[in-house]
Amino acid sequence: MRVPRSSPGSMTSTPEHLKAQILELTRQYSRQVHDRFRPASDPDRRPWQTGETIPYAGRVFTEDEVEAAVSSTLDFWLTLGQEGDAFQQELATFLGVRYSLLVNSGSSANLIAISALTSPKLPAERRIKPGDEVVTVAAGFPTTVAPIVQVGAVPVFIDADPETGNARCDQLELAYSPGKTKAVMMAHALGNPFDLAATLAFCRKYDLWLVEDNCDALGCSYSMPRPLAESLGFTENSPGLDEGPDRVVRWTGTWGDISTQSFYPPHHLTMGEGGAVSIVRDGKLKVIAESFRDWGRDCWCPSGIDNTCGKRFGWQVGELPYGYDHKYSYSHLGYNLKPLDPQAAIGRVQLKRLPEFIQARKLNWEVLRRGLALCSDVLVFSLPTHAADWDAESGFSWDDSGCRTNCSWFGFKLQIKQGAHFTRTDLARWLDSHQIGNRMLFGGNLVRQPAFTQLLQAQPKAFRVVGELSGSDEIMTHCLFLGTYPGLTPEMLKFKIKIIREYILPK
């Protein structure tokens, strides 16, 4: 493409004009070459053609994101700066938490979240020390669990329920070990909140931290009757949520002490690579988490800024001499897990689309559920936690716990019933042969993954398992999930349903 040149000295040669031209051309370019990535609801989205791949998930964006990335890149601050600060503030405001810190992935967010809980700055009885235990769930994504091992703690695996995909919270008590258990760290599976009422009651009873891996669940909410919420310490709704005066409703990621997000492309919003650690209430955890993210330093100056505390040469920490530069004083064995400012610039545009994306995920799940209802002789469909059933007329009915979930689905999970005339892998192959994206519930039963079998061989006490984990095995063997992402057009959804019905229903 030819970029118009401006003559020296003309108005168009000022940096502002040059930037405006570049950004205008960027928008034109993006409109031409990225039209199949626009939201499905966008009239300018290039229609899907039969024969084209239907990914299970992916980037959904317009020229707005591309312009934001280019604009920030032209500024060339590069490391986290004003876009990062703004994104952190805007995400924290959306969720209604005290702080959100940007990191370079959801996995890094989990590493920072659990590392923060090992800090010597926390009370001795609460901090996680080597050999302490963290309760987690066996079916899921490996980097929900790996950081527990990486900080020297011991994961204790409870089972997952194949219907919800989530932890069987009735096993929490069985996992508890007095004096050793310090935290619970689990994911809301595929955009389905786990039983927060049971988990929080367990955490309150034993004074444990709760880390919510919210990487697959941005925009999910969980509600409970007000007296129950108040007994657990919650009085306020999250911003923008309301289920009447008798209930408290909050986003997932705002019930625990710390929560994490992933902004990798299949997730609810993307910046390519990226993630966030949200500190729900306790400001001290923010300073600690930031220290682990930023090399382990004691100082909290933003990149490129000196002397935020006003006494850069007035500290005495560790065995360093009084007045040693606070910028180079380290209170933790930290990392550097920051993303770039252009990533944050993309994220800011995506965050504005989040309400629309959440709605699209809900709608797409509903379309698949209705379209595949005829296949229920051989398929078990996922139920939101606390749902008792679903029917086409009235939607979900609820169990008598009084708690409710509202799912911002990451995926549409199917379980193949015993006795079906095909296996999960047969169905996955059929979908693959029609270029329909499908995935297994990540690592299945994680304790059967080589990383964990090898770990146990080398260190027999590296983790503990509660019971048989038969639900996790079932998920590993009989489940897969389809996409619900906001790039799916009605034609793509229709095609998915047609192909699955063709395979399953008698001719």
Q: Which of residues 144, 164, 445, 472 is near ligand PLP by CB under 6 A?
A: 144
Residue 141, interface with ligand PLP (CB under 6 A)?
Answer: yes
Q: Which of residues 83, 163, 216, 474 is near ligand PLP by CB under 6 A?
A: 216
Residue carrying structure tokens 């935290």: 183
Long-range CB contacts for residues 445-454, cutoff 8 Å, separation at least 24? 445/138, 445/139, 445/469, 445/472, 445/473, 445/475, 445/476, 446/138, 446/139, 446/140, 446/142, 446/145, 446/157, 446/472, 447/138, 447/157, 447/472, 448/473, 448/476, 449/142, 451/142, 451/146
CB under 6 A: which stretch of 138-146, 250-258, 364-372, 494-502 binds ligand PLP?
138-146
CB under 6 A: which stretch of 106-114, 175-183, 195-203, 361-369 binds ligand PLP?
106-114
Total number of residues shown for the chain: 507
d(CA 116, CA 121): 9
Binding mask 160-189 for ligand PLP (x = CB under 6 A): ---------------------------x--
CB under 6 A: which stretch of 120-128, 135-143, 171-179, 484-492 binds ligand PLP?
135-143
Q: Which of residues 96, 193, 219, 275 is near ligand PLP by CB under 6 A?
A: 275
Q: How far is CA 93 from CA 8, 405, 469, in A?
A: 45, 21, 38
State the minimum distance, in angstroms, from the CB of residue 134 to ligand PLP. 15
Number of CB atoms found within 10 A of residue 453's CB = 11
Q: Which of residues 68, 91, 92, 215 is near ligand PLP by CB under 6 A?
A: 215
- Number of alpha carbons in the 13 Å side-chain half-sphere of residue 20: 8
Contact indicator for 146, 213 with CB cutoff of 8 Å: no
Backbone angles phi, psi at 163, to 5 degrees: -75, -45
Q: Which of residues 143, 164, 166, 489 is near ligand PLP by CB under 6 A?
A: 143
State the minimum distance, in angstroms, from the CB of residue 262 to ligand PLP. 3
State the minimum distance, in angstroms, from the CB of residue 148 to ligand PLP. 13
The catalytic residues are: 267
Q: Which residues contact 366 (CB under 8 A, 6 or more apart)?
A: none
Q: Which of residues 65, 159, 161, 213 is near ligand PLP by CB under 6 A?
A: 213
State the minimum distance, in angstroms, from the CB of residue 429 to ligand PLP. 23
Residue 84, interface with ligand PLP (CB under 6 A)?
Answer: no
Long-range CB contacts for residues 177-181, cutoff 8 Å, separation at least 24? 177/133, 180/131, 180/132, 180/133, 180/154, 181/132, 181/133, 181/134, 181/135, 181/156, 181/206, 181/208
- Cβ closer to ligand PLP: 38 or 348? 348
d(CA 356, CA 371): 22
CB under 6 A: which stretch of 105-113, 249-257, 282-290, 489-497 binds ligand PLP?
105-113
- Which residue has the CB atom at the shortest distance from ligand PLP? 106
CB under 6 A: which stretch of 172-180, 210-218, 221-229, 427-435 binds ligand PLP?
210-218
Contact set with ligand PLP (CB under 6 A): 105-107, 110, 140-141, 143-144, 187, 213, 215-216, 262, 264, 275, 442
